[in-house]
Amino acid sequence: MSDANGQAEKDIPVATELVQLLMELGYVAVGRGLQLQAQAIFDGLAAARPNSEIPLIGLAVCKINFGDFLGASKILAEQALRINPDSGMAKCFLAMAIKEIGGKREAEELIGQVIETCEEPAAKKLAESLRAGKDVP
């Protein structure tokens, strides 16, 4: 990604362990119903790691959990998958969001792509659970 001057955005120097801890904290906030706090955590992580789709997936999961399926699908399709077009996790959560807004066929295609081509074991497992009709393994 580039800024207005054409400079590549760089990660803010934050230890990987701290980023992982903050991701976990963001998911705990989602689980406890703290939408604004979770969103703030994931937004901050996305600013710290502009070249990673992982914080954007967290933000999308937050939106899915609180019923904003359109918002989640936009984040995943327009941001996360632009950063990493091969992200199986982004595709799985995009499939979940799209299915909720009426795109069952497109969701099934995404799930199939992950099962057939993805090398991420966690994404493959999630896709198989989604295909079996489960929301989360």
**Predicted confidence (pLDDT) per residue in 6-17, tens digit:** 344 677 777 889
Going by pLDDT thresholds of 50, 70 and 90, the confidence category of residue 97 is very high
Place of tokens 């991701």: 23
**Kind and range of the H or E element at 37?**
helix 35-48
Burial class (CB in 10 A: 0-12, 13-18, 19+), 129: middle
**Tokens found for residue 51:** 């070249």
The pTM assigned to this predicted structure is: 0.86
Whether the per-residue pLDDT at 37 is higher than 80: the answer is: yes
CB contact set of 129 (below 8 Å; sequence gap of 6+): 135, 136, 137
| Domains located in the chain, CATH noted | 16-131 (1.25.40.10)
Secondary structure (DSSP) of 84-109 = -TT-HHHHHHHHHHHHHTT-HHHHHH
